[in-house]
Amino acid sequence: MRGSNKASSLTIEFSIQRCSPRGALLLCFAVFSLGGCTVGPKYVRPTADVPSNYKENADWKPAQPGDELVKGKWWEIYQDSQLDTLEEKVDVSNQSLKAAQAQFLQARAALRISRSGLFPTITANPLISRDRVSANRPLAIPGGTTNYADYQFPAIDASYEADVWGRVRRTVEASRSEAQASAADLASVGLSLHAELAMDYFQLRGLDAQKQLLDSTVASYQKALDLTQSRYGGGLASAVDVAQAQTQLETARAQSIDVEVQRAAFEHAIALLIGQPASKFSLSALPLSVPPPPIPPGLPSDLLERRPDISAAERRVQAANAQIGVARAAYFPLITLTGLGGFESIAAGTLFQGPSGLWAVGGAAAETLFDAGRRRGVSDQAKAAYDQSVDNYRQTVLTAFQEVEDNLAALRILQSEAQTEDVAVAAAQHSVDLSLTRYKGGVTNYLEVTTAQSAALTDEVTAVTILTRRMTASVLLIKAIGGGWNVTQIPAV
């Protein structure tokens, strides 16, 4: 028995070396018979407050669109071939997604490192040397040999930490959970990137619709200017009317040009998402015209299985729980088994003869009796980390519910707003028609026409903006409910 006191720590080590073969077998059997003991709390998935239904979905019952969201490629629900082509490029070329994949590979490699602790470490150290010892060394035999050769082969050395208390198994459990969390993180990054691309795409198409509307308005204003100039030439209109028509035309033309700035920014953002240089990428104009398809949000409890960020948070709870077991295992003795075998001789010719064989087996146990509270501190730290991971998990769940409710509300309210805005657009266009008729009949001046035209343009742009917001809200709702992902896609690793 040997005691040592280093840095306020007292460790007692027991060792048994050079056992007989029967004693070695009995030692191994005794150690492995304790291998089923694993300290630390058994993992139980933390509870979360899950409502029975979505509040914002109570009065809004969209038709069920089949299994589009279950296939994984959720963007196909929009039936837009251009969007489908762009989304496929994200998985192939997006650099952020590749970085997340590399992070997952790191976590999987870390798991392999942890699993290596379940097996012995075996090393081979063949040795050939020629040595000379001092003839004047202590206890030297007068006239004795001072030169000799030493041959060792294969000199195999094996060591193994007997996982009696489950420290290694808990470490493997924690690494496995972290690898699974990393896989869920990868899915979450992919979902976010696909959703970001879809939102950028629909906003770009919304700008295309605005551009189309403004260009059409410019053409209408040009005709109105021509009419005013003709009336001015005939003495039926004043120079003020011409100036107002000219101002109206150039203002609309400037708005049309300004849309191109925003469109270019979204086009460049899409290029970045699909891993292409912005200078080499372009999208043809395709005005947004159809409303979003109906999207069933499912049940709130589905979020726990369909949101990759929730699954990642839950996996990290299990990893933190396993770390508590690792910390508690430090309170128990560390048992190590060692073995050595090979041949050794002073002459190469007798190296593999029976008398040259050597072997040794043994075991050692080390128990820390005093460490000034270090193990307690590590254990308390692990418990606090577990509590933190549980809180993070529950916060992630609450955030998920909020995001679903936000976008359900947005879709419901925007749908109602779109209906009202359509009425406003029709009324504004009717006002323009009446004003032009009154102006042509000489009943009113051109100010009434420009006022009606400005109101009509504003309402039409607002209608396009609402449609764009409805499309982006539908994408955000799909993202909020996890897209087509589910927890079964987490690898077993």
pLDDT digit string, tens, across residues 87-101: 999 999 999 999 999
Q: Say yes or no to pLDDT of 21 above 60.
A: no
Q: What is the structure's pLDDT at 145?
A: 67
Q: Say yes or no to pLDDT of 64 above 60.
A: no
Give the start-end residues of each E strand in 226-385: 334-345, 357-370
Least confident span in 5-9, 48-52, 224-228: 5-9
Q: Say yes or no to pLDDT of 6 above 80.
A: no
Cα→Cα distances 144→74, 308, 345, 347, 491, Å: 86, 75, 18, 18, 67
345: confidence class by pLDDT, cuts 50, 70, 90: confident
Tell me the whole-structure pTM to 2 decimals. 0.86
Q: What is the structure's pLDDT at 133?
A: 83
Mean pLDDT, residues 346-356 taken together: 85
CB-based contact 90:273 (threshold 8 Å): yes
Q: Say yes or no to pLDDT of 20 above 60.
A: no
State pLDDT tens for residues 439-482: 888 888 888 999 999 999 999 999 999 999 999 999 999 999 99
CB-based contact 298:481 (threshold 8 Å): yes
Omega prior to 333 cis, within 30 of 0 = no
Q: Say yes or no to pLDDT of 61 above 90.
A: no
Q: Say yes or no to pLDDT of 28 above 60.
A: no
Query: Distance between CA atoms of 131 and 111, rounded to whole angstroms?
Result: 44
Mean pLDDT, residues 142-148 taken together: 75
Q: Pairing mode, if any, of strands 127-132 and 121-124?
A: unpaired
Q: What is the structure's pLDDT at 13?
A: 53
Query: Distance between CA atoms of 253 and 222, rounded to whole angstroms?
Result: 10
Q: What is the structure's pLDDT at 350?
A: 86
Least confident span in 156-165, 209-218, 386-395, 412-421: 156-165
As beta bridge partners, residue 340 has: 157, 360
Which residue reads 């196909």 in tokens? Answer: 76
Least confident span in 60-64, 333-337, 400-404: 60-64
3-class secondary structure, 217: helix
Q: Say yes or no to pLDDT of 271 above 50.
A: yes
Spell 77-100 as b/e; 16+ CB within 10 A means b. Answer: bbebeebeebbeebeeebebbeeb
CB-based contact 159:472 (threshold 8 Å): no
Q: Say yes or no to pLDDT of 214 above 70.
A: yes
Mean pLDDT, residues 399-414 taken together: 95
Q: Say yes or no to pLDDT of 484 above 80.
A: yes
Instruction: Look up residue 261 and give its two tokens.
Output: 């700035």
Mean pLDDT computed over every residue of the chain: 88
What DSSP designation does 282 have?
-
Query: Distance between CA atoms of 461 and 210, rounded to whole angstroms?
Result: 6
What DSSP designation does 295 have?
-
Mean pLDDT, residues 196-210 taken together: 97
Domains for the chain: give ranges and CATH numbers: 35-119+168-330+384-489 (1.20.1600.10)
Least confident span in 5-14, 43-52, 65-74: 5-14
Q: What is the structure's pLDDT at 4?
A: 42
Q: Say yes or no to pLDDT of 381 above 50.
A: yes
State pLDDT tens for residues 309-327: 999 999 999 999 999 999 9
